[in-house]
Each structure stands twice: as C-alpha cells, then as structure tokens.
C-alpha cells in the first residue's frame, strides 16, 4: 500500500478522534499566519505554474507570479558543491537530459544523483517536461534556489505584491547540510516565507522563527497527539487532496488544534476521477475549509476560488 493510500485509509478515523482533539485544543493559542476562518483558499503555485511550463524553472515561477499565486513552491536539493537548487527529486533523471549528457555518471542503480554533480555541470542540462501533453520543448535550465529567490524578490518589487516562497526540504536525512543552506539563503528577504517537509525530525529541529508546514507522511501524525506534536513547531499540515475528499473531518480536527490545512495537488489536466471538473475539486476543498491549495494551474484555480469567494460574500 502506498503512503497516500495508507493516509487516506487512516483518515476515516479522523471523525472519531475529533471530540478528543477538541478538548485538547482548549488550551492552545493558534499560531497561524494571516488567513483565518473567513479567508478564501490561498493559491500555492506547485513547482511554479507547472501545468504550463516545466516544473522548477524560472519562467515557470515567473508565470505563477504573474498569474496571481500567493505563494511559489520550489522543492530544494543540494549539488555536490553545496549549491541549493530547485529540483523535486534527489536525482536528475526524471526532469532533465542528464543521461544524454553524462551517460557514465549514473550510480549502480542507474540513476544520476544531484549530489554527484557540481552546479556548473547541472547548469549545462536542459529541463525536460516529465508529464505527457505538457510543454514540449527543452528550453530551460535548472535554477539555483538563489535565482528563484532573486526572481520573486524582483517581481515583488516591480509589481508591488508580496508573493511568498514556500520551499520544501527534500530528503534532508540524506542531505545533512540542506537545512542550514536553505536558512542561509532565505535570510534577508522580507516577504512571506514558509518551510515545508515530509521529514518531521528535520522540520521540528529547524533553528528558525519562520513558519513551518508539516507534510503528513504517516497515519499516526493525524491522531490528536500527533497533531499536537506538530502544532508545537508548525503552523499547519500539508495533506493529499484525496484525504480531504474522503473525510473532511481531518480539516476540522487540525483547525481545532490551531493548525492550517494545505492540500495538494490540483491539476486542471488531471482532475480526480471522482469529480467531473476542476471546479468540483475546488468546491469540495473550500467546503471542507482547506486553507490553501497547491496547484499546477494557479490561474484556473484562482479564478474558481475567487468566484466562490465572491459568491459567499
């Protein structure tokens, strides 16, 4: 059973533990950012506007900013020379032409690890769209995190907006310098920042005042005690949308403990089979009270959310 299926199966118990969690919440002071009960669902650009341009590319992030996303999401890994780059996997194979340029650099498992390449070597690669029927060309390069931050900072200055950056620590257990490097890169920027990770030990241990969001990796994290532990260091949890679709009690449970709920991932070209349309998915998440949603198509989800918010007012 996959991690997602285990989580979705476990969520059916959320209603049962809600009453116990309500009692535990009486003593808690919510620790979230702006965006409370009456706020409309925030739009988190998943790997950029990755439904239109390849994930984790500077044009993809710029497009997301222009489309009105509230937050830009880069996943972050380290190169051999310690450079933080925007990349989802710790390997380069799925999203670049690394096997063509460096055919002799794979490990025994046949994969090319970012940790085995300097950034100068990675900079030579072309980003390759991983999903069929999306952007067809090899136009873009793998950016450094520093490039992403500079881009968002520049666009925030020229547009007068305060779009946030929401980086994910990828596999920090095998990248011991990742957290320190990330925090150093983020220092000095004044617009909103949140840090997320599936690794609860690494996220809890971060030496920072920046808001953190715990991505749920195990069913035990959704029990009252599990959520209470998360609430001691994080402002929210990140969950697969399917978990909310199956039992929205998880949202109520988290809210009772002062935690926001951020769901992933809405894709206009890959709508959940239990819904007729992206609008149906958006409506279900909003009805459940989800605070923010990751999407590959920020413009379409923003339009749907805005329409619902307008209707509600």
Q: Which tokens in the block code for residue 41?
A: 């669902």
Nearest position to Ca ion, beta carbon: 168
**Which SS3 state, helix, strand or coil, does residue 279 take?**
helix
Nearer to ligand G3P, 144 or 262 (CB): 262
* Binding partner of 126, given Ca ion, ligand G3P, none, CB within 5-8 angstroms per partner class: none
Give me the sign of the Cα torsion angle 39, 222, 218, 278.
negative
* Binding partner of 264, given Ca ion, ligand G3P, none, CB within 5-8 angstroms per partner class: ligand G3P
Say whether residue 168 binds Ca ion (CB under 5 A).
Answer: yes
Q: C-beta of 61: minimal distance to ligand G3P in Å?
A: 14
Determine phi and psi for 36, rounding to 5 degrees: -90, -150
Determine phi and psi for 107, rounding to 5 degrees: -80, 180
Say whether residue 238 binds ligand G3P (CB under 6 A).
Answer: yes
Footprint (CB under 6 A) of ligand G3P, residues 55-114: 75, 88
Q: C-beta of 226: minimal distance to ligand G3P in Å?
A: 18
Nearer to ligand G3P, 25 or 49 (CB): 49
Crossing angle of helices 249-256 and 224-231, in 10° steps, is 50
Say whether residue 168 binds ligand G3P (CB under 6 A).
Answer: yes
Footprint (CB under 6 A) of ligand G3P, residues 43-62: 46
| CA dist., res. 191 & res. 236, Å (int) | 19
Q: C-beta of 54: minimal distance to Ca ion in Å?
A: 15
Q: Which residue has the tokens 């439904």?
A: 51
Sheet holding 260-266, edge to edge: 84-86, 75-78, 168-169, 195-197, 212-215, 236-240, 260-266, 292-295, 42-46, 71-73, 164-165
Nearer to ligand G3P, 75 or 252 (CB): 75
Q: Which tokens in the block code for residue 58?
A: 């500077």
Say whether residue 121 binds ligand G3P (CB under 6 A).
Answer: no
Q: C-beta of 133: minimal distance to Ca ion in Å?
A: 22
Contacts of 235 (CB under 8 A, 6+ apart): 31, 32, 33, 194, 211, 212, 213, 259, 260
Q: Which residue has the tokens 């926001």?
A: 260
Footprint (CB under 6 A) of ligand G3P, residues 176-205: 196
Say whether residue 75 binds Ca ion (CB under 5 A).
Answer: yes
Strands (E), 101-221: 164-165, 168-169, 195-197, 212-215
Q: What x-and-dash track marks residues 244-283 binding ligand G3P by CB under 6 A?
A: --------------------xx------------------
Say whether residue 291 binds Ca ion (CB under 5 A).
Answer: no
| CA dist., res. 3 & res. 16, Å (int) | 21
* Binding partner of 197, given Ca ion, ligand G3P, none, CB within 5-8 angstroms per partner class: none
Contact positions toward ligand G3P, by CB under 6 A? 46, 75, 88, 168, 196, 215, 238, 264-265, 294
């Amino acid at each position: 059973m996959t991690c997602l299926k285990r989580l979705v199966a476990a969520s059916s118990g959320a209603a049962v533990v809600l009453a116990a969690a309500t009692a535990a919440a009486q003593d808690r002071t919510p620790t979230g950012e702006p965006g409370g009960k009456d706020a409309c669902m925030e739009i988190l650009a998943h790997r950029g506007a990755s439904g239109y341009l390849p994930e984790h590319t500077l044009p993809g992030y710029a497009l997301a900013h222009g489309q009105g996303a509230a937050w830009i999401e880069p996943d972050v890994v380290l190169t051999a020379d310690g450079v933080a780059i925007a990349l989802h996997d710790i390997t380069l194979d799925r999203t670049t032409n690394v096997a063509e340029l460096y055919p002799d650099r794979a490990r025994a498992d046949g994969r090319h690890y970012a940790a085995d390449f300097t950034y100068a070597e990675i900079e030579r690669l072309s980003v390759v769209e991983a999903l069929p029927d999306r952007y067809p060309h090899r136009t873009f390069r793998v950016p450094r995190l520093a490039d992403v931050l500079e881009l968002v900072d520049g666009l925030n200055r020229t547009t007068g907006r305060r779009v946030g950056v929401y980086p994910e620590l990828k596999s920090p257990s095998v990248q011991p310098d990742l957290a320190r490097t990330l925090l150093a890169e983020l220092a000095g920027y004044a617009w909103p920042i949140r840090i997320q990770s599936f690794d609860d030990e690494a996220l809890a241990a971060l030496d920072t005042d920046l808001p953190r969001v715990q991505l749920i990796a195990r069913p035990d994290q959704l029990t009252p005690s599990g959520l209470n532990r998360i609430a001691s260091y994080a402002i929210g949890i990140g969950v697969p949308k399917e978990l909310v679709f199956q039992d929205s009690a998880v949202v109520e449970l988290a809210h009772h403990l002062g935690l926001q709920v951020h769901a992933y991932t809405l894709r206009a070209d890959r709508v959940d089979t239990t819904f007729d349309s992206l609008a149906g998915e958006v409506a279900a998440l909003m009805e459940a009270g989800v605070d923010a949603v990751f999407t590959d198509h920020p413009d379409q989800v923003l339009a749907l959310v805005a329409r619902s918010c307008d209707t509600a007012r």
